[in-house]
Amino acid sequence: MFHIGPYQIHSPVVLAPMAGITDQPFRRLCKQFGAGMVTAEMLTSDTKLWHSRKSQQRIIDKNEAEPRAVQIAGAEPAMLAQAAQACVEHGAQIVDINMGCPAKKVCNKAAGSALLRDEALVTDILQQVVAAVDVPVTLKIRTGWSPEERNGLNVARIAADSGIQALTVHGRSRACRFKGEAEYDTIAEIVQSIHIPVIANGDITSPHKAKQVLDHTQAAAVMVGRGAQGRPWIFQEINHYLQEQKTAPLPSLEIIQTTISQHLEALHQYYGDYLGLRIARKHMGWYLQTLAADTVNTHMADFDWSGLRQTFNKLEDCQQQQHYVEQLFDDLIKTIEEQAA
């Protein structure tokens, strides 16, 4: 348990904002499974671009669970401050600034992790955004621009001195992108050097890894990103392991089926039939990867998981997608029963 401003976060496991993934249906699902906090997809700081359908669907909804957190990205201090104010007007209770994204299309605009090269600009951005709003402002960074230019500690101190109320650190430099293993020594050093909550991010894909990182860094929490794709119940698994010191049983096939069906229905309702159908394909692909990994030691490993995904991706009707899920789990449960007989 930790605090971001006046908000008490009851679980030390939070969901990372991921563009194109952590939309409203997925955030609600992760929250249901015990995520202490969820953050909306990254928004550009240029509010003139917020009128597109994509941006409108990324703007926070005042009916979402508290604390309502949003993430903004940009390189102009005044523009970021204005965007933060607009987010608050739409209902945001926490504004997160992205200085961690390694994507070329973000860094080419000198935003995201590209900002880590200019500590003076970092200072200006943080001070202006903090001054512009009366809600907590948080920051996400990487350990530095490259392994040779690892200035995450300097940026962390700037953040704490500028009024940032929580800091997330991804255990890779910008140059590393998502390659290689995350390192946590820099995060541990940052935790010892500043007085605000630090959230450790990078390769948190299991309950054991979450505890290992929390123990090593002494961070207030861990942030799960890719580890939640196709496995939103990972928050429940990590919370159980941290509290009970033992691994939770895997969710039953019935629970997983219900989760997938409800997720698909939420996507169809939120985006409409055309777009919801297509976004559902991406999530179903991740669910199938998870099922394949979890059944690797059973006869279900003989399932043609790649073929199942290809078949699902060819479906052109929302009801067909739901029927496909029902049939898939009927087959899985029948296989288990045959094995037990």
Which residues are marked as active site? 101
Buried b (16+ CB within 10 A) or exposed e, 5-27: eebebebbbbbbbbbebbbbbbb
Cβ proximity of 37 and 14 under 8 Å = yes
Shortest CA distance to 93 belongs to which of 58, 64, 51, 124? 64
- Output the six-digit token pair for 84: 């933060």
Question: What are the φ/ψ torsions at residue 99 (nearest 5 degrees)?
Answer: -125, 30
> Residue 100 has which token pair?
């961690």
Q: Which of 213, 211, 199 is nearest to 247 (CA)?
A: 211
Tell me the C-alpha distance between 280 and 260, whole Å.
Answer: 10
Taking each helix axis from N to C terminus, what angle separates 207-217 and 185-193, rounded to the nearest 10 degrees?
50
CB 224 within 8 A of CB 230: no
Please report, for residues 114, 139, 296, the alpha-carbon distance to residue 73 in angstroms, rounded to integers and kept in the order given: 11, 10, 40
Two structure tokens written together for 170: 């991804």
Q: How many CB atoms lie within 10 A of CB 180?
A: 11
Structure tokens at 268: 């169809």
Q: For residue 73, give the DSSP letter.
A: E
